[in-house]
Chain A
Amino acid sequence: MITASFVQDPNFIRSAYILAFGLFIVGLMGLRHPRTAVRGNWIAAAGMAIAIGATLLIEGMGNWGLIALGIVIGTVVGVPAARNVRMTAMPQMVALFNGVGGGAIALIAWVEFRETAGFAHEPLYVAIASLFAAVVGSVSFWGSNIAFGKLQEILPGRPITLGRAQQVVNGALLLTCVALGVAIAAGGDDEILIIGLLVAAALLGNFVVLPIGGADMPVVISLLNAFTGLSAAAAGIALNNVAMIVAGMLVGASGSILTKLMADAMNRSIPNIVAGGFGGGGAVAGGGPADLEGKTVKSTSAADAAIQLSYASQVVIVPGYGMAVAQAQHAVRELAKELESRGIEVKYAIHPVAGRMPGHMNVLLAEADVPYDQLKEMDEINPEFPRTDVSLVIGANDVTNPAANSNPDSPIYGMPILNVNESGSVIVIKRSMNPGFAGIDNELYYDERTQMLFGDAKSAVGEIAEEVKGL
């Protein structure tokens, strides 16, 4: 028996928790600037280490072997996954890490139910907080797994829906969760109640995310991230653990803001996204502008594109998911260097939702050593397009569709876009004429100033760079 020392004093442990969440806040503040972000991340990680260390000091802790087992397995799985994931697969990795967090909360709530015989002698708020954590954690776990499956292309990216019945089914599942929760809080202690609750929440998580198209997935991951944070805070209330309350709520608040920023950038409301539709559903069928019929697209060659680019004085590169998939960022950087050596001004136009997540393009271009100050956000670059000789669109689609400005019937009408159609000429590198994730035709491709260069982004950009060198 270890004699209790000051480190096991509950007030010492609480003080360590205060230090820990202080570090979380300082770390998050660091994440606001590119220069301090790396340090911010490690400050938050130090906070986490302190919180975990302090928890292990709590008097009366046991089951050390099992605790070690869980931590070792988690480390053995988590470290290689984080180390080896390709940059393009980052979004689904975040979804997966988010999902396991939600799963952990749901499991803890289930065990709490079992250990307290259905919260029999616990205050009502403990039951409510635990049940909230169970439902939201379970929704987050299953929803994140579906998001992972869709982005990893294990599941089809297109919406899978039950049609009109969708809302009814989701509503019924949510009601089931609430009803079972009320039954437990009111004193029900049969384990079937909590299992039923977890299963209903699991189905709800599946049914909410399955109908959402691939284009909306980042918003969904962000939303589920916020959910996991909220459920962690609820679990903290139930366990009277201040570190969990603060950390969970910080994530709940920041995740909500991030979700809203992303949804705003796509001109969609969050309820609208969760209700499904976009990304290839019914709204799309009527969205194709009729006047595109009979119009043709012009295709071009790498040599022609190279000539146009090398006679430009300003070139704006518009990267999209196609660049990410083809891992073309290094080729793009090579081409840009080549153009710059000829005195051509090169800028990159970054749409807030280009790629699969906000900042996705920045991460990839930074990997290829593109100078940070050449990356221009939408509001900064849009006034530049009329002064731009050539816009080079690499695997971006919906974020350049002028229908968002001009066609009120288009499902993306009102979405802020990059006004590439205002530049002198446009070269679009694209694998085929297949529509983007929104499933709608892009009027830009039919514009007379637009030329299409069909092919894989990496090889197409590489060919252009070769041609430019040869000029």
Chain B
Amino acid sequence: MLVTNLAILVLAGFVGFVVISKVPNTLHTPLMSGTNAIHGIVILGGLIVLGLSGDGTLNKVLLVIAITFGTINVVGGFLVTDRMLGMFKSKPEPKREAAE
């Protein structure tokens, strides 16, 4: 299991490198924001640990905070990215079309 997971880890790393190394400068800020939203996947850790065990008050409090944090990361991350990108798409370019 560990070895399989490590193999997945390494392959995911290569995929990340390949996918991202071709992004134009222009999109770096949205990209940073978008990848930031994706690591909100940590919320799964909070859900699994709280859902499957989560005994004791302190543990529960810590996990609720963790889920709150994870949710902020996910929801805020995707929304902010969308707002940034919304500005790029806001202008269809008739002028440019005509020129081409």
Q: Do A and B come from one complex?
A: yes
A: residues with CB less than 8 A from B are 21, 24-25, 27-29, 31-35, 37-38, 40-42, 44-45, 48, 51-52, 55-56, 58, 60-63, 66-67, 69-71, 73-75, 77-79, 81-83, 85, 87, 90-91, 93-94, 96-98, 100-101, 103-105, 107-108, 110-112, 114-115, 123, 125, 221-222, 225, 228-229, 232-233, 235-237, 239-255, 257-258, 261-262, 350, 352, 357-360, 362-363, 366-367, 369, 371-373, 375, 377
Q: Please, which residues of chain B bring their CB within 8 A of the CB of A71?
A: 67-68, 71
- For residue A341, give the distance in angstroms from its CB to the closest CB of chain B: 13
Binding site secondary structure of chain B: helix
* 5 pairs of A and B residues whose beta carbons are closest in the complex: A74-B71, A253-B16, A70-B67, A358-B28, A82-B79
Which of B32, B59, B64 gathers the greatest number of chain A CB atoms within 10 Å? Answer: B32
- For residue B61, give the distance in angstroms from its CB to the closest CB of chain A: 9
Binding site secondary structure of chain A: helix
Contact A77 B72 (CB under 8 A): yes
* A123 vs B37: C-alpha distance when bound (angstroms): 31
Is B2 part of the binding interface, using a Cβ–Cβ cutoff of 8 Å?
yes
- For residue A138, give the distance in angstroms from its CB to the closest CB of chain B: 12
Q: Please, which residues of chain B bring their CB within 8 A of the CB of A32?
A: 19-20, 22-24, 27
* A122 vs B44: C-alpha distance when bound (angstroms): 20
- For residue A108, give the distance in angstroms from its CB to the closest CB of chain B: 4
* A444 vs B91: C-alpha distance when bound (angstroms): 35
Which residues of chain B in 40-64 are interfacial with respect to chain A, using CB atoms and an 8 Å cutoff?
40-56, 58-60, 62-64
* A48 vs B34: C-alpha distance when bound (angstroms): 12
Q: Please, which residues of chain B bring their CB within 8 A of the CB of A233?
A: 9, 12
B: residues with CB less than 8 A from A are 1-2, 5-6, 8-9, 12-17, 19-56, 58-60, 62-91, 93, 95-96
Contact A369 B38 (CB under 8 A): no
Contact B13 A249 (CB under 8 A): yes
* A45 vs B23: C-alpha distance when bound (angstroms): 19
- For residue B43, give the distance in angstroms from its CB to the closest CB of chain A: 6
In the complex, residue of chain B having the shortest beta-carbon distance to the beta carbon of A110: B62
Q: Please, which residues of chain A bring their CB within 8 A of the CB of B51?
A: 55-56, 58, 60-63, 67
Contact B80 A90 (CB under 8 A): yes
Contact B45 A105 (CB under 8 A): yes
Which of B19, B26, B38, B62 gathers the greatest number of chain A CB atoms within 10 Å? Answer: B38
Contact A70 B63 (CB under 8 A): yes
* A208 vs B76: C-alpha distance when bound (angstroms): 26
Contact B34 A108 (CB under 8 A): no
Contact A359 B25 (CB under 8 A): yes
* A114 vs B66: C-alpha distance when bound (angstroms): 15
* A66 vs B50: C-alpha distance when bound (angstroms): 8
- For residue A231, give the distance in angstroms from its CB to the closest CB of chain B: 8
Q: Please, which residues of chain A bring their CB within 8 A of the CB of B93?
A: 371-373
Contact of B28 among A108, A241, A359 (CB under 8 A): A359
- For residue B14, give the distance in angstroms from its CB to the closest CB of chain A: 7
Contacts known (A67-B51, A77-B72); A107 close to B37, Cβ less than 8 A: no
Q: Please, which residues of chain B bring their CB within 8 A of the CB of A261?
A: 25, 28
Contact A108 B49 (CB under 8 A): yes
- For residue B52, give the distance in angstroms from its CB to the closest CB of chain A: 6
Contact B79 A83 (CB under 8 A): yes
* A91 vs B33: C-alpha distance when bound (angstroms): 9
* A62 vs B66: C-alpha distance when bound (angstroms): 16
* A31 vs B17: C-alpha distance when bound (angstroms): 14
Q: Please, which residues of chain B bring their CB within 8 A of the CB of A243?
A: 41, 44
* A93 vs B30: C-alpha distance when bound (angstroms): 12
Contact A250 B16 (CB under 8 A): yes
Contact of A363 among B17, B30, B59, B71 (CB under 8 A): B30
Contacts known (A37-B27, A37-B85, A357-B28); A111 close to B35, Cβ less than 8 A: no
* A96 vs B76: C-alpha distance when bound (angstroms): 10
Contact B36 A101 (CB under 8 A): yes
Q: Please, which residues of chain B bring their CB within 8 A of the CB of A90?
A: 29, 33, 80, 84
In the complex, residue of chain B having the shortest beta-carbon distance to the beta carbon of A369: B91
- For residue B35, give the distance in angstroms from its CB to the closest CB of chain A: 5
- For residue A107, give the distance in angstroms from its CB to the closest CB of chain B: 4
Could you write out 16 A-B pairs with CB less than 8 Å apart?
A41-B82, A55-B48, A62-B54, A66-B64, A90-B33, A104-B66, A107-B65, A108-B49, A112-B49, A125-B2, A244-B44, A245-B8, A245-B12, A257-B20, A358-B28, A372-B91
Contact B13 A352 (CB under 8 A): no
- For residue B45, give the distance in angstroms from its CB to the closest CB of chain A: 4
In the complex, residue of chain A having the shortest beta-carbon distance to the beta carbon of B29: A359
Q: Please, which residues of chain A bring their CB within 8 A of the CB of B20?
A: 28, 32, 253-254, 257-258
Q: Please, which residues of chain A bring their CB within 8 A of the CB of B38?
A: 24, 27-28, 44, 48, 229, 247, 250-251
